[in-house]
Amino acid sequence: MNRPTLARMLRATLPSLVTFPLLAGTPDFGPNVLILDPADRDAQGNVDAVYHLQERNQFGADRRCILLKPGDHHLHLKVGFNTQVAGLGVSPDEVQVHGDLEVNAQWFQGNATHNFWRSVENFAITPDDGDVKWAVSQATAFRHMRVHGNLSLWDGGWSSGGFLADSRIDGVITSGSQQQWFTRNTDMAGGWKGGNWNMVFEGVTNPPEGEWPARPYTVVAKTPVIREKPYLALISGECFVMVPGLESDVTGVNWSLPTRRIPLGDFHITHVGESAASINAALAAGRHLLITPGIYRLQESLQVTHANTVVMGLGYATLIPGQGTPALSVADVDGVTVCGLLVESGPVNSPTLVEIGPAGSSSSHADNPTFLHDLFTRTGGFGPGRTSCFVTINSHDVVADHLWLWRADHGPGRGWTSNPVANGLIVNGDRVACHGLFVEHTQEYQVLWNGEGGRTVFYQSEFPYDPPSQDEWMAPSGTCGYASYKVADHVKTHTAWGLGAYAFFHGDITVDSAIEAPEVPGIQLHHLLTFQGRGKVLHVLNQRSGLPGNPSRLTE
């Protein structure tokens, strides 16, 4: 049987295989959510069916979420595209998986640089052979996890990820071929082994030894402000969304931190095909939003107007605007959380896909910031689309915790005029922080930072592969190309650690500087690098060249 035929059969039969109720009366999560009890006899077969459907489904329409009830599970978990696996315990230790957890690149001849859009969170894993194999690249989250063993971030081939946070790893973490990696607030009991271009550690215990630039390590001792990503938990037969509390100056994990429990009954649970007007009516009434797996084509923006609203996507739920509006707009209010969403551009140009605060937002949210966790955007790959900017942050004090903003360089619909995007991220608000920022292939400044007091820990980017010619890719100042990370000329205060920009141009293209920023005392940029695969990057920062070699590094 050929693979397309098998995929069609699985797609037709999966809904009847994977729908298990949490308990009688629990709201319906829809046909794309598989909920497993430790006693389910068909659990392994259903998990395997999801994986076979999603293993190669890079740009397909299927979205899947696997939820594990508390208890001991005996499973071999392989995680494919557009799939989330999550435990339903109050802490990771309440869901124990004995078996394997694996992401590999066998589908792509061992090349894991395309292993995007998959995540695991909130369970403990005891691997049979002692090793979790997590060969991933961008838009992959390993969160709120306990590993009783080692964690290997490659499978022997290329890899280019990734994101690890709020986890405890008992054994050794091996980076292998990973070009770059970001680890935040993780207890690394067995330490870290390996490193290539840019490995950044924020708020971790037992970081690796060695200093930049001799070793590609950046260590930031504490995370100044964080609220971990919300998650589902089953407590005494009732399902809640757990919202961890706000923390300051954090090292390692704190799973005993008091959390806000929101009953699932306070959420509007969406289903594919539901109109944006219906969803907005629920948001206007003060409901939280849980977006079940699937693709939502929106005829108007989803509007978040109430403080402390939680907007949570399951299984890479995907929003696509149809009328040239943002897919999601958040008012200038306190404490909103947006997490677990993939936002794609539509056929009509949107000024931005996600807007946090309207233009001119002025309120302080220092005591109760808005958080963006695991928020991913793309244009092209699935087909043509267009937007001027992926994410625009106008509000103050926003914290972004893992973004991948991607103009597609492969797949259907890519091309200089087929999937145009000028900017990946524009920050106009003050005191905005980014932890784990990935932006790739946009056509002008990939990051344009206009606000004061900004902070980035870890940045990975690639310049666009496909400028038609040097004459058609010149900045307004007359320099060759656009810097990847641009701190605006008027900005007086900004800090960043571990910024990397890579060049793989298709033609004979030059970019003058990878990073541009005013050279004033209040701007402190640490551990910067460029890598030149094809084409030229003349300077790492402004007119400063890095150390000889590839990548080229600045010491400070």
**How far apart (Å, rounded) are the C-alpha atoms in residues 437 and 133?**
23
Q: How far is CA 153 from CA 181, 198, 212, 282, in A?
A: 9, 14, 22, 41
Sort residue 458 into left (φ over 0), alpha (ψ -120 to 50) or beta. Answer: left
Helix boundaries (H) for 173-308: 276-284
What is the distance, to the nearest Å, from the Cα of residue 253 to the centroid of all Cα atoms in its chain? 20
Among the listed residues 497, 510, 507, the one whose alpha carbon sits nearest the alpha carbon of residue 460: 497
DSSP-derived pairing of the beta strands 247-250 and 223-226: antiparallel
Residue 283 contacts by C-beta under 8 Å, 6 or more apart in sequence?
268, 289, 302, 303, 304, 305, 306, 309
- Helix 3-18 crosses helix 43-54 at what angle (to 10 degrees)? 140
Which runs of E-coded beta strand occur in 299-381? 302-304, 310-321, 328-330, 337-344, 354-356, 371-379
Catalytic residues: 462
**How far apart (Å, rounded) are the C-alpha atoms in residues 222 and 49?**
42
SS3 340: strand
Among the listed residues 316, 345, 354, 389, the one whose alpha carbon sits nearest the alpha carbon of residue 140: 316
From the number of C-beta atoms within 10 Å of its C-beta (0-12, 13-18, 19+), residue 120 rates as buried
Give me the amino acid identity at 148.
Answer: H
DSSP-derived pairing of the beta strands 310-321 and 337-344: parallel
Residue-wise burial string across 235-249, b where 16 or more C-beta atoms lie within 10 A, e elsewhere:
eeeebbbbbbebbee
**Beta-carbon neighbour count of residue 74 at 10 Å?**
12
**How far apart (Å, rounded) are the C-alpha atoms in residues 389 and 400?**
16
**How far apart (Å, rounded) are the C-alpha atoms in residues 290 and 238?**
16
**How far apart (Å, rounded) are the C-alpha atoms in residues 376 and 390?**
9
HSE-CB for 83 with a 13 A CA cutoff? 25
**How far apart (Å, rounded) are the C-alpha atoms in residues 121 and 35?**
15
From the number of C-beta atoms within 10 Å of its C-beta (0-12, 13-18, 19+), residue 466 rates as buried
